[in-house]
Structure 1
Amino acid sequence: MLLTAQNNSKSSFSNETIKRIHLLSPGFEIEQDLNKNLSFVGNFGFFPAFYSQGGSLNKRREGIVWAPFIDLQGRYYTNFNRRLDKGKSIENNSGNFIALKLTNYFPSENDEATTDALTIAGFVYGIQRTYWDHFHINLESGLMADLNAAQNDSFVLPWVSFQLGYTF
């Protein structure tokens, strides 16, 4: 079965405000168009941080800590004209983008583990599509810098993110 983005096309700048709910990292996202190719994205939610503590397998404790986060992005969509020329939709900003990204994970804990605050920033390349008017898929990859690390310990880390959700 071939998946294609929805049939109606946004062919000119329409100053959309797009709202989404994400399922894998439960959260709420708002994307505001600034012009035809630029948008600003704010995402607020909870990230499942997996942990494993202890030595031997029978004494090991494993679980999930839900870390609250805020993610801000400035996106530039690189292929809207090419998608329109091919008769594909750019509705709900279905397209490829590059973005400047800033994410802050707040500290959290459960009965067995805690997570520290983490702030990362960097550049990502992403592919975003909306199918059947509401089904949202987003895949991002890039390089992020840990802004919490001490100056001697600072490092750049690879970033990959996959989101499934519902677009209003």
Structure 2
Amino acid sequence: MKKITLLSVIIFSAFYMNAQSGQLVEDGLFKANLLAPGVSYELGIGAKTTLNLEAFLGFALNGGSGRDTNFGLYPGLEADVRQYINFDRRLRKGKNISGNTGNYISFLNQFQFGTPIIGDLEYTSDYYYNAALVYGLQRTYKKGFYFSLAFGPGVFVNEFNTDAGILIDARLGWVIGGRKK
């Protein structure tokens, strides 16, 4: 058993070191988001590949004339694996790629609870799950300001039904500690 564990560690270490050679993405970016308040961490896992993990708060407001206005803050989680596709072209043109500034394709997963942590507006479903294959772009500027926009076909699931549609995901905020490259 010890030999198998040691062999596994050696193989994994060799794979990890090989994956990190020639890495163009940042090793790790900690970001604060403003549009859907939350935080995310983008971890470099390959030369042009990252794993982005995010925790956020969704906001909903429901009201109108002749009825009560209700609101809610809903916790959510997001994870996506991003493959940056235009780093080489950006470098050839003398453009910036620091802060993972580039275009990417990604498999995006979002999960949001239907019960608010603050407020009294409760959704009919206890959860919402979205999965989509998206094309996105991310830009990070010198002072750490960044924005990201992704869109693509997706599947939207809750406890009552499953629908297909277009997912649009927008982020705006700051890289904490600034760009690393």
Task: Name the TM-score, length of structure 2 as normaliser.
Answer: 0.76
Structure 2 CA distance, aligned partners of 1:159 and 1:50?
Answer: 20
Identity of aligned residues (%): 25
1:126 and 2:136 aligned: yes
Counterpart for residue 23 of structure 2:
13
SS in 2 for 1:163: strand
1:64 and 2:71 aligned: yes
Structure 2 CA distance for partners of 1:89 and 1:101, relative to 1, 3 Å: same
Structure 1 CA distance, aligned partners of 2:74 and 2:165?
Answer: 19
1:113 and 2:136 aligned: no
Q: Which moved more, 1:42-51 or 1:81-90?
A: 42-51
Say if 2:140 and 2:146, in contact at 8 Å, map to a contact too. Answer: yes
1:80 and 2:87 aligned: yes
Structure 2 CA distance for partners of 1:111 and 1:65, relative to 1, 3 Å: closer
For 2:162, the aligned partner's letter is: S
Flag the structure with more relative contact order, 1 or 2, with Cα contacts below 8 A and sequence separation at least 6. Answer: 1
1:138 and 2:148 aligned: yes
SS in 1 for 2:99: helix
Task: Name the TM-score, length of structure 1 as normaliser.
Answer: 0.82
Structure 2 CA distance for partners of 1:69 and 1:27, relative to 1, 3 Å: same
* TM-align CA RMSD: 1.8
The runs of 5 or more residues in structure 1 that have no matched partner are: 1-11
Task: Write out per-residue CA displacement over residues 108-148 of structure 1, whole angstroms, 9 at most, x where no aligned residue.
Answer: 23554202310111111111000123001111111221233
| Structure 1 residue 63: Cα displacement | 4.2
Say if 2:30 and 2:42, in contact at 8 Å, map to a contact too. Answer: yes
| Structure 1 residue 149: Cα displacement | 5.3
Structure 2 CA distance, aligned partners of 1:163 and 1:138?
Answer: 5
Counterpart for residue 51 of structure 1:
62
SS in 1 for 2:23: coil
The runs of 5 or more residues in structure 2 that have no matched partner are: 1-21, 177-181
Say if 2:71 and 2:119, in contact at 8 Å, map to a contact too. Answer: no
Instruction: Compare the two structures and name the one with the higher helix fraction.
Output: 2
**Structure showing greater Rg:** 2
| Structure 1 residue 104: Cα displacement | 0.4
Structure 2 CA distance for partners of 1:87 and 1:145, relative to 1, 3 Å: same
Counterpart for residue 94 of structure 1:
101
